[in-house]
Amino acid sequence: MSFNINLLKEISKKFSGDIHGEINIESVSIDSRKQVKNGLFIPIVGDRFDGHDFLQGAIESGAIAVLWDESRPIPKDLNGDFPIFFVEDTLKALQYLASIYLQKVKPKVIGVTGSNGKTSTKDLLESVLKKNFITHKTQGNYNNHIGLPLTILAMPNNCEVAILEMGMNHFGEISFLSKLAKPDIAIITNIGESHIEQLGSREGIAKAKLEIMDGLKDDGILVIDGDEPLLKVTDKLNVLKCGYNEHNDFKITSIEQTADGTNFSLNDNSHFSLRLLGKHNVKNATFALAVGKYLGLSEHRIQVGLDNCTLTGMRMEKKAGLYGSTIINDAYNSSPTSMRAAIETIKHLKGFSRRILVLGDMYELGEDEKQLHETVADVITEPITHLLTIGEKGKWISEALLKSNQYKIEIKSYKTKEEAKSDLINLLNDGSVVLLKASRGMKLETLSADLFM
């Protein structure tokens, strides 16, 4: 990414400061440790840090200009010719700069939110679109009020489609991000239980996710999980519904799942294959299909994109394990909805005599967290053979299953991952498939490292 001089002129119009000679800003950074080329350093002030204290480190890492809080003194040892732009608030300046750059580049903007599946949907969108458009997507978890403007500012200046993930913890956050990004296409993947502790109910979560409409362009489209009754939208919007129920515009009519992926069909008699596991990923793929068709892509071009999809790590990630076993690492994060979906996937895989669930604590579920953990036991049925739970909250799942274990599933609970390791390894053979699933804080992937060949 390389900013043209017009953008620097916009900075000069908005913020006071002097440029001694011509400079060419090629990147924006808030991290003084990150090596950059011709970088603009924007020091962010947090609860425990102040980026202004690290200007010299940023310069050593490649910064050639800085946005500076006008209320803070300039470092005495700073070169007098170093370009400084004075601002009232560096975070707001970062967000303003992102909005200006977005106006300059003018890509089609696709905003993606949802309780589960937004990162997988983002990856699928990029795979479907990148063969036909110059695309740019959110990297990692850069999906909040700091990460989203940084994502925008990392776009190449010839970007045609920007795929922007939008996360949140509280009301108003998605609204802000949507108004900043002004999406042409907005996607809500689903409504789960993530952040129910802050938002009070699934109805509250739905309300927060629907804030993505706040910045949607007047002629924009909204793509939603059509199976979710809480996603109620006005008839005035152009809405595309995706899912399994009859009323969906993109209705999934059949699924054939193998250990290596999924074949599926839609109500227009189109057929696709996906090198991913799970009905939930088929629905995520359908969001990408809907967008691809809206943007004029043929079914063949969409399939080529699906063939080349690689999801961000630890999302139903399949690997060869010890003794010929198969490990499905879905340990990036979890909610009851996504955990149940992952379990259903394991149940429908063919060719395994042992189906082993390793499930851990789920966080931010509020006062109903025990009951929400217990709901997971409802889907732990044949052909699941083993359940291993880790953590005090995970134990609620095993306790619930013990009350109604009509399928004679072997159940064990452990306080820590280390306690579970040897028992799990003893269960592995060439007929074993293992699912690893828990909230991010459990870091269940550290257990998976001991299971691979």
DSSP string, 372-409: HHHHGGGG--TT--EEEEESTTHHHHHHHHHHT-TT--
- Integer Cα distance of 31 and 174 in angstroms: 24
pLDDT tens-digit profile of 58-104?
Answer: 999 999 999 999 999 999 889 888 989 999 999 999 999 999 999 99
User: What's the confidence (pLDDT) of residue 443?
Assistant: 92
Buried b or exposed e, range 271-297, using 16+ CB within 10 angstroms = ebbbebbbbbbbbbbbbbbbbbbebeb
pLDDT tens-digit profile of 226-239?
Answer: 999 999 887 667 99
DSSP element (H, E) containing 103: helix 90-105
Strand 63-69 to 238-243 pairing: unpaired
Q: List, in sequence order, every residue forming a beta bridge with 45; answer none if it has no partner.
A: 50
Strand 84-87 to 16-18 pairing: antiparallel
- Confidence (pTM): 0.88
- Integer Cα distance of 220 and 239 in angstroms: 9
Integer angstrom CA distances of residue 130 from 133, 146, 161, 223, 230: 5, 25, 9, 19, 32
In whole angstroms, how large is the CA radius of gyration of the chain?
24
- Integer Cα distance of 103 and 152 in angstroms: 11
User: What's the confidence (pLDDT) of residue 20?
Assistant: 60
Contact criterion met (CB below 8 Å) for 99 and 180 = yes
User: In the block, which residue shows the tokens 């979560």?
Assistant: 205
The domains found in the chain, sorted by start residue, are 5-89 (3.40.1390.10), 106-307 (3.40.1190.10), 317-448 (3.90.190.20)
Q: List, in sequence order, every residue forming a beta bridge with 450; answer none if it has no partner.
A: none
Give pLDDT tens digits along the chain (453 positions): 445 435 566 677 777 776 666 778 888 999 999 999 989 999 999 888 899 999 999 999 999 999 999 999 999 889 888 989 999 999 999 999 999 999 999 999 999 999 999 999 999 999 999 999 999 999 988 999 999 999 999 999 999 999 999 999 899 999 999 999 999 999 999 999 888 888 889 999 999 999 999 999 999 999 999 999 999 887 667 999 999 999 999 999 999 988 788 999 999 999 999 999 889 999 999 999 999 999 999 999 999 999 999 888 788 888 999 999 999 999 999 999 999 999 999 999 988 999 999 999 999 899 999 999 999 999 999 999 999 999 999 999 999 999 987 888 999 999 999 999 999 999 999 999 999 999 999 999 888 788 876
| Greatest distance between any 2 Cα atoms in the chain | 78
Angle at 366 between CA 365 and CA 367, to 5 degrees: 130
User: What's the confidence (pLDDT) of residue 194?
Assistant: 83
- Quick count: other Cβ atoms within 10 Å of Cβ 415? 12
Q: Sheet with 27-29: list strands edge to edge.
A: 16-18, 84-87, 63-69, 39-41, 27-29
Q: Sheet with 410-414: list strands edge to edge.
A: 317-320, 326-329, 432-437, 354-360, 386-390, 410-414
Q: List, in sequence order, every residue forming a beta bridge with 39; answer none if it has no partner.
A: 27, 63
Residue type for 209, please? Answer: K
What are the φ/ψ torsions at residue 184 (nearest 5 degrees)?
-85, -30
End-to-end CA distance of the chain: 40
DSSP element (H, E) containing 213: none
- Integer Cα distance of 349 and 435 in angstroms: 12
User: What's the confidence (pLDDT) of residue 10?
Assistant: 67
User: What's the confidence (pLDDT) of residue 5?
Assistant: 39
Buried b or exposed e, range 387-407, using 16+ CB within 10 angstroms = bbbbbebbbbbbbbbeeebee
Strand 317-320 to 386-390 pairing: unpaired
DSSP-based three-state secondary structure for 112: strand
397 CB-near residues (< 8 Å, 6+ apart): 359, 373, 374, 376, 377, 380, 387, 389
User: What's the confidence (pLDDT) of residue 159?
Assistant: 96
User: What's the confidence (pLDDT) of residue 146?
Assistant: 96
Residue 261: exposed, middle, or buried by beta-carbon count in 10 A (0-12, 13-18, 19+)? middle
User: What's the confidence (pLDDT) of residue 4?
Assistant: 47
